[in-house]
Amino acid sequence: MSLRVWTTLATRDERDWGHLPPSEERAHAVRAAEIAGLDGVVAPYDLGGEESTVLVGDALRHTRWVHALHEFHVAAFNPVYAAKIAASYQRFTAGRLDWAPLVTAATPSQRRPSSTDAASWYARADEFLNVARGVWNNATFDLEGTYYQVKGGGFREALAGLPFPRVHLTGSDDDALWLSAKHGDVHVFTTAHEVAERGPLLQEQARALGREVELGVRLSVLVRETDDEARYELSAESGASPDLVPLPSGASWWDGFATRGHASPGGLVGSYAQVADELARLASEGVNTVILDVRPRVEETYRIGEHLLPLVRPAAGSTTSDLETTGVR
């Protein structure tokens, strides 16, 4: 199984580059992911930052290989319009768009009828994905739902026959697993513990529906040539010895990445070989998507491409046989 390695993009300004527009800073990080051979970049949903649809467009337009994972709240669009936006991206970028619809994340606004609790949000997300796939895969489509109604829908002509974005879902409670079993292509957890605890159950539920859901994990990393260097980097920043949890490979798990400005609070600290070993361990539990949160983004993305990827791809038993092929480049 091949390991897909992604990085997350900034939604807020991270360096004070007064002489350049803010989008230029992000463009460098996108280009780094492309040049360094990563599989994709994640455009996060961040109410306090820039909007991800715009990030996705810029990333896809200026790359040839990387995919862009569009994280958005299901409240943001009606599902037909969301699918329409996705179809345009797929048409123009050789099918390099992926989806990460968020269900229970905070949203200050929604279309009526309102969803008021987790159950009603999941019901809405289920309907959203039914409609999006329904109009995408059928020349004619009707659905009379609680939240959405479509009559005489369906993508035809230039909108037909495109690859539907691979759906990445998150969460670890029962509702989240149920939605993934039904609609997900990849389920992204946030710790190795969650993968071990909930991953097999999810895959069992999916198989019961005749589906396959791949597993993924999203975490921070700080890797250096040696473990000492990586730890030194951390203590130099925090001024104190950080609270590290040792792992079998000799790498450590650290829950304090938020103090370094990362969006993923938990992650791995160690040498290239150690972290590659931990990722191989995850791969052996079925994980084939790894979303990495690194700072500073450009430099660390290069580091991952040069030093970590050569170790993790063979370590995960990579062959090119199951590489995604979504169209001409």
Contacts with other proteins by CB under 8 A lie at 12-13, 21-23, 27, 47-51, 53-58, 60-62, 72-73, 75-81, 84-85, 87-89, 91-94, 107-112, 114, 131, 135, 148-159, 328-329
Interatomic CA distance for residues 49 and 26, integer angstroms: 13
Of 48 and 210, which has the nearer Cβ to other proteins? 48
Contact criterion met (CB below 8 Å) for 329 and 64: yes
Residue partners of 299: CB distance under 8 A and separation at least 6: none
Minimum distance of other proteins from residue 156's CB (angstroms): 6
Q: How far apart are the first and last CA of the chain?
A: 23
Minimum distance of other proteins from residue 121's CB (angstroms): 13
Contact criterion met (CB below 8 Å) for 140 and 71: no
Minimum distance of other proteins from residue 102's CB (angstroms): 12
Of 60 and 311, which has the nearer Cβ to other proteins? 60
Of 161 and 310, which has the nearer Cβ to other proteins? 161
Minimum distance of other proteins from residue 226's CB (angstroms): 39
Minimum distance of other proteins from residue 93's CB (angstroms): 8
DSSP assignment of 160-220 equals TTPPPPEEEEE--SHHHHHHHHHH-SEEEESSHHHHHHHHHHHHHHHHHTT---EEEEEEE
Cβ count near 142 (within 10 Å): 13
Amino acid at 212: E
Interatomic CA distance for residues 277 and 271, integer angstroms: 10
Of 96 and 303, which has the nearer Cβ to other proteins? 96
Cβ count near 195 (within 10 Å): 23
Minimum distance of other proteins from residue 60's CB (angstroms): 7
Of 73 and 224, which has the nearer Cβ to other proteins? 73
Of 152 and 210, which has the nearer Cβ to other proteins? 152
Of 56 and 222, which has the nearer Cβ to other proteins? 56
Q: Residue holding tokens 């400005």?
A: 261
Minimum distance of other proteins from residue 105's CB (angstroms): 12
Interaxial angle between packed helices 79-92 and 118-137, expressed in degrees from 0 to 180 and rounded to the nearest 10: 50
